[in-house]
Amino acid sequence: MLVLKNLSKSYGQVIAVKEIDLTIEKGEFFCLLGPSGCGKTTILRMIAGFERPTGGEIWLNGKNITHLSPNERDVNTVFQNYALFPNYSVLDNIGYGLKVVNMPKAEIDNRVAEAIRLVGLEGFEKRMPANLSGGQQQRVALARALVKRPQILLLDEPLSALDKKISEQTRNELAELQQKVGITFIFVTHNQSEALALANRIGVMKNGLMEQCATPKEIYEKPGSKFVADFIGNMNFFDGTIIGVNQQNTDIDLTGLGEISLSQTGVRQGKSNVLFCLRPERIKLSLLPAAPYENYLKGIVKKKHYLGEHTKFEVEMANGITVNVTALNYMLQQSNEFYDLEEKVFLIWSKTSGELIYV
C-alpha cells in the first residue's frame, strides 16, 4: 500500500534519514521505533507531506505522492500534543476537517457520530478540551483523524504525554480500534513496550538508518545487531569464540567464564568471534547446577531489587562482568530460594535460549 524508495532527508550537512526502503501493507499496524534523533518522526513527516525528501520517492497505492501537498494525500496525522482547538467542543473539533471541505451537514453529522462511537466518547460531545483528561483528548484527536477515513493514519508518539496506567489502557484501546476500522496505522515511538504490544511489524532505527525490520517476536528473539538487542528490552552480552559446530549445537567459549552450548543452526564457519546475547528472564538462579538446563555459570549476587511481581538480581561473574537476572517472585516463593547479597549462585539456562551476533 505504501512504498518508500531510497528515501532520504538532509538538513544541510546533517543526514536525518538515509536511503530507506520500506513497504507497508494495507491494514498493517507498523511501528517506527528508535531513540530520539534517529529519524523516525522525519519519515512520518515526509509521508504526511510536512517535509520534502532530499532524495527518493513515496508511493501510495501505486501513485507517486512525493511532491504532493499534505491536503492532496489520503493520509491523516495524530500529533504528540493532539493539536486540538481549545475554543471548539469535542463535536466541533472532530467535524472541523469535514466542514473545511464543504461536506453536506447530514454527512458530517453521521460521520462525527460514528467516530465518537468508535473512540467511546458518547456523552462528551459538548465538552471543551480543557475539561477532558489526557486520554480523552487523545481520543478526540484520533476521532478527528479517523472521521476523514484516510487510507493511512500516522501517529507521532501519541501516548507519550499520558501516565503509565492510562497509557497502557489507551494502548489496548488503540489496538482494538485499528482492528475495528482496518486502516493502516504507522506509529512512531521510542517506547519498546508500546511497539512490541501494538505492531504487526517494527522498524528499528538508528542514526537515520533502518537497523532491522521484522515482527515483534523476531525483533525480540532474533535481534540483527547489538544495537537492536540492547534497545529492545534488557540483554546480557558475553564476548565469545566459536570453538565447535555440529548439526545440533554450537559450542562457544565465553571469555574468562568457560564453555557453553547453543542450539543454533546455520552458524557461519570461519567467523569465530561473537557476542552471545541472553535475556535476563531466560536465566534461572540456583544453588546447584540442575537439569534440564544444559548451561551454567558461577557468580555472586551483588544487588537485588524487589519490583512487585518480579525481582531483579545483579550477579558478578569471575571475569568481573555483571549479569542481570529477572525472576518471578511466585517462582522464588515456590522454590523457597530468595538468594541473599554475596551469596554464591549458579546461573543456569537451556541451550535453546540465547542468540549469537557476529562481531
Cα 159 from chain centroid? 13
Tell me what the mean pLDDT of segment 179-196 comes to: 91
Tell me the pLDDT tens digit for each residue of 107-117.
Answer: 999 999 988 88
Cα 21 from chain centroid? 19
- Is the distance from CB of 77 to CB of 48 less than 8 angstroms? yes
- Is the distance from CB of 82 to CB of 94 less than 8 angstroms? no
Q: In degrees, to the nearest 5, what angle opens at C-alpha 145 toward C-alphas 140 and 147?
A: 90
Tell me the pLDDT tens digit for each residue of 126-154.
Answer: 999 999 988 888 889 888 888 888 899 99
Q: What is the DSSP letter of 68?
A: -
pLDDT-based confidence at 343, cuts 50/70/90? very high
Tell me what the mean pLDDT of segment 325-347 comes to: 87
Q: Which residue has the higher pLDDT, 231 or 244?
A: 231
What's this model's pTM, rounded to 2 decimal places?
Answer: 0.86
The predicted pLDDT at position 153 comes to 92
pLDDT-based confidence at 226, cuts 50/70/90? very high
Residue 15 pLDDT > 80, yes or no? yes
Q: Please, how many CA atoms are within 13 Å of residue 18, restricted to the half-sphere of its CB?
A: 12
Q: What is the CA radius of gyration of the chain?
A: 25
The predicted pLDDT at position 266 comes to 61
Average pLDDT taken over every residue of the chain: 89
| φ, ψ of residue 6 in degrees (nearest 5) | 50, 40
In the block, cell 517535509 appears at 51
User: What DSSP string describes 158-214?
Assistant: TTTTS-HHHHHHHHHHHHHHHHHH--EEEEEES-HHHHHHH-SEEEEEETTEEEEEE
Helices (H) and strands (E) in the chain, counts: 9, 20
Paired residues of 78 in beta bridges: 155
How far is Cα 106 from Cα 342, in angstroms, rounded to an integer? 73
| Burial letters 71-101, b for 16+ CB under 10 A, else e | eebebbbbeeebebeeeebbbbbbbbbbeee
Q: What is the DSSP letter of 104?
A: -
The rounded percent of the chain whose pLDDT value lies above 90 is 58
The predicted pLDDT at position 61 comes to 93
Tell me the pLDDT tens digit for each residue of 56-70.
Answer: 999 999 999 999 999
Residue 270 pLDDT > 60, yes or no? no
How far is Cα 263 from Cα 12, in angstroms, rounded to an integer? 48
The predicted pLDDT at position 359 comes to 72
Residue 215 pLDDT > 70, yes or no? yes
Helices 134-146 and 164-181, interaxial angle, to 10°? 20
The rounded percent of the chain whose pLDDT value lies above 70 is 96
